[in-house]
Amino acid sequence: MSKKIKKKNNKSSARLIFSGIIVLISSFLFYSAAKEVLVTVNLTNDLKTVKQQLQQIENEKRNLEERKEKLEDPNYIKSYARGEYSITKEGEQIFRLPSNKEKLADPDSETSEDE
């Protein structure tokens, strides 16, 4: 009878060791899978950020190319210089009208003209 008990104890301890090994392997695989999922999520977020930056850079590039094309046009340069820097042709006069901001900043200018 003692041989049967020893065999059962050996079988149960072998099963216990085998079960422990299986649990360890399963835990390791679960940990590895969870780590890979986290890495994938982080990379996906990074990819979204980089795609947004790429879109902004492409938009800026497109705007700069449009501006470059405009600046290569002599008529655009003339009109831009006349509008922004008040450059005139010979014999022209420039009349600057006050903007709404200037009118609001100096309310006495209207009343003094009316008097």
Residue 97: pLDDT band (50, 70, 90) is: confident
Residue 110 lies in a domain: no
Residue 25 lies in a domain: yes
Over 50: is that where the pLDDT of 115 sits? no
> Could you tell me what percent of the chain has a pLDDT over 90?
50
Task: For residues 68 and 72, give the distance between their C-alpha atoms in angstroms, rounded to a whole number.
Answer: 6
In three-state secondary structure terms, 93 is coil
Q: What is the mean pLDDT of residues 28-35?
A: 98
Burial of 111 (0-12, 13-18, 19+ CB in 10 A): exposed
Residue 24: pLDDT band (50, 70, 90) is: very high
Residue 24 lies in a domain: yes
> Tokens standing for 105?
């900043």
Residue 100 lies in a domain: no
Residue 46 lies in a domain: yes
Residue 107 lies in a domain: no
Identify whether the C-beta of residue 86 lies closer than 8 Å to the C-beta of residue 94: yes
Residue among 106, 109, 104, 83 nearest 94 (CA)? 83
pLDDT at 108: 59
Over 70: is that where the pLDDT of 112 sits? no
Residue 58 structural domain = 2-88
Residue 44 lies in a domain: yes
Number of domains in the chain: 1
Task: For residues 70 and 17, give the distance between their C-alpha atoms in angstroms, rounded to a whole number.
Answer: 79
Task: For residues 82 and 89, give the distance between their C-alpha atoms in angstroms, rounded to a whole number.
Answer: 9
Over 70: is that where the pLDDT of 7 sits? no
Supply the mean pLDDT for the chain: 84
Token pair 């850079």 is at which residue?
57
